[in-house]
Amino acid sequence: MEDLVAEKHVKYILSVEKKKDDFESLVLEHLRMNGAYWGLTTLDLLHKLGAVDPDEVISWMMECYHQDCRGFGGNIGHDPHLLYTLSAVQVLALFDRLDVLDIEKVSDYVAGLQNGDGSFSGDIWGETDTRFSYCAICCLSILHRLDKIDVEKAVNYIVSCKNLDGGFGSIPGGESHAGQIFCCVGALAITGSLHHVDRDLLGWWLCERQCKDGGLNGRPEKLTDVCYSWWVLSSLIMIDRVHWIDKDKLTRFILNCQDRENGGISDRPDNAVDVFHTYFGVAGLSLMEYPGLKSLDPAYALPVDVVNRIFFGKQRAPSLLAS
């Protein structure tokens, strides 16, 4: 089996962080905060978070912070949104620097986006999506402020997005998709509500995502993509069905998507690499306990040692206890 070219991936991530005007940087311009989370978490999984200066990252992040509403934008001068606020909170948690936040105000911003039916809007413009339910619940849990929302209504809304195939969609009646399943199962795990999941039914749907090439797709009849190694595997772990996947074949698929010369991982073999797929490829390997990588918590999408630090000192993460 081809080995993970870890050093090359570290170099690649560090080079992307520095570049400001190539194609990848321009494409990522509006979601640079998410890019920071993907890149920095990859470095941490590879034991190389020390290669970046936290003060430099944090001072840029705080320029993306909106003093008026207390949410984070995807880049300097961009509007605030739950998607970027969660990434900001996750990056601060990685650096153990949540102290730079006004936690009451940020959590008020997040809680203020809950709607009467329990769902969450991503920002003031009102679109709802179970991705935003996850962002809000994960963020408030990391900040120890879940009491600011109606958790029961939030859970009931997520359950209303469950389908007959056992999966979950973005809104009630929306098609089951592995990405949305991660969000719904993750939010249910964090809130201790996994009893709403039919583990065998969902586990069957999820393990059917593995295709002949060993990779996973996000829904039936779609192409495999390295990123589903995270969305599908994390969900399978949370419902205790990860042994239904052929791990060796999936590991081989991910390793075949590496750029072995310049570092980085792509969606499928021989395609161009990017930070998103590099993170989710390394994350998938970490979930399969690939040697030398830090362990990731499947619900919080943060290294287990970071989650332990947030909640318990050195004990196990709550997402793992809740299942």
Q: Which residues bind ligand GRG (CB under 6 A)?
A: 83, 86, 131, 134-135, 179-180, 182-183, 217-219, 222, 225, 227, 231, 301
Nearest approach in angstroms of CB 1 to ligand GRG is 25
3-state secondary structure of 120: strand
Rounded CA-CA distance 39/18 in Å is 12
Query: Are the CB atoms for 259 and 226 separated by under 8 Å?
Result: no
Nearest approach in angstroms of CB 196 to ligand GRG is 19
Nearer to ligand GRG, 31 or 194 (CB): 31
Strand partners, 303: 296
Nearer to ligand GRG, 160 or 217 (CB): 217
Nearest approach in angstroms of CB 49 to ligand GRG is 17
Nearer to ligand GRG, 4 or 233 (CB): 233
Nearest approach in angstroms of CB 231 to ligand GRG is 6
Nearer to ligand GRG, 48 or 219 (CB): 219
Position closest to ligand GRG via CB: 179
Rounded CA-CA distance 318/243 in Å is 22
Query: Are the CB atoms for 68 and 89 separated by under 8 Å?
Result: no
Nearest approach in angstroms of CB 42 to ligand GRG is 12
Nearest approach in angstroms of CB 135 to ligand GRG is 6
Nearest approach in angstroms of CB 9 to ligand GRG is 18
Nearest approach in angstroms of CB 21 to ligand GRG is 26
Nearer to ligand GRG, 119 or 180 (CB): 180
Tokens of 33: 């905060």
Nearer to ligand GRG, 135 or 185 (CB): 135
Rounded CA-CA distance 147/272 in Å is 43
Nearest approach in angstroms of CB 251 to ligand GRG is 20
Rounded CA-CA distance 249/239 in Å is 21
Tokens of 22: 């190539």
Q: What's the start-to-end Cα distance of the chain, in Å?
A: 33
Nearer to ligand GRG, 5 or 121 (CB): 121
User: In this structure, which amino acid lies at residue 50?
Assistant: G
Q: Is 177 left (phi over 0), alpha (psi -120 to 50) or beta?
A: beta
DSSP per-residue codes, 16-30: HHH--SSHHHHHHGG
Tokens of 184: 């719904």
Closest CA to 188 of 180, 179, 197: 197
Rounded CA-CA distance 13/9 in Å is 6
Nearer to ligand GRG, 5 or 288 (CB): 288
Residue 209, burial from CB neighbour count under 10 angstroms (0-12, 13-18, 19+): buried
Closest CA to 87 of 119, 65, 69: 65
